[in-house]
Amino acid sequence: MKRKRVLSVDVGGSKVKLLLSGETEPRKIGSGAKLTPARMVEKIRRETGDWDYDAVSIGVPARVGPAGLLAEPGNLGHGWVGFDFAAAFGCPVRIANDAAMQALGGYDGGRMLFLGFGAGLGSALIAEHVIIALELGELPFRDASFSKALGRDVKTIPALQKAFMADYVMIGGGNAKHPREEVAGRRARGQ
């Protein structure tokens, strides 16, 4: 039986990262406030013309339900809710919240809190192999949001770890590679 090849798509606020199962080098295309899903599919098909895949997995910075996106991504163009990705790609497509998707890739058992620093703050909790996408970046914090507060002060991370009773915190996202203070019980995973 032929092994299925999956194209993984990580949609971010400034770039979209692509990786085909069996490949080691990801490819990137531009993103941004004018990126619609139709335009993204067009760019992906052009960039991956030499890759054959049987299915597509897409991580998007938005709320996602069993039938697809529940809300438009804040940093991208419009038209994501209700877009037929399977028809556009011509193969089965699964969509997940991007933070949940990245958290799953870094999960090492136990209870893990994931914080993804990118154009915004992605977050997810995994406990007993159940993943829950969170929207911590939208919570008000002093005179800003958690998204802005955590970007300036990582001392908030231990409080979040304690509040979610997490065994460890996984730090990820496009801005995870920027230097941050060390936080006990955290693991960095830059992209």
> Does residue 129 sit within a domain?
yes
Q: C-alpha dihedral over 21, 25, 29, 33, to 10 degrees? A: 80
Do 121 and 85 share a structural domain?
A: no
In terms of domains, do 79 and 51 share one?
yes
Identify the pLDDT of residue 99.
93
Structural domain contains residue 102: no
Clarify whether residues 56 and 89 are in a common domain: yes
Q: CB-based burial of residue 63 (10 Å sphere; 0-12 exposed, 13-18 middle, 19+ buried)? A: middle
pLDDT of residue 87: 98
In the prediction, which pLDDT does 187 show? 62
Where in the sequence is the domain holding 136, given as residue range(s)? Answer: 107-188
Distance CA 135, CA 151 (A): 15
pLDDT, residue 107, reads 93
Question: Does residue 177 fall inside a structural domain?
Answer: yes
Mark 19-36 as b/e (b = at least 16 C-beta within 10 Å).
bbeeeeeeeebebeeebe
On whether residue 1 sits in a domain, the answer given is: no
Using CA atoms, how far apart are residues 96 and 58, in angstroms rounded to an integer? 6
Q: Same domain, yes or no, for 61 and 116?
A: no
Both 92 and 111 in one domain: the answer is: no
Residues 18 and 78 in one domain: yes
- Confidence (pLDDT) at 156: 79
Clarify whether residues 30 and 74 are in a common domain: yes
Quick one: 92 and 114 in the same domain?
A: no
CB 172 within 8 A of CB 123: no
Residue 101 domain flag: no
CATH assignment at residue 51: 3.30.420.40
pLDDT one digit per residue (tens) for the chain, 191 residues: 778 999 999 998 889 999 999 999 999 999 999 999 999 999 999 999 999 999 999 999 999 998 899 999 988 999 999 999 999 999 999 999 999 999 998 899 999 999 988 777 889 999 988 999 998 888 887 777 777 777 656 777 888 899 999 999 998 877 766 545 555 555 655 44
Whole-angstrom distance, CA of residue 61 vs CA of residue 101: 10
pLDDT at 67: 87
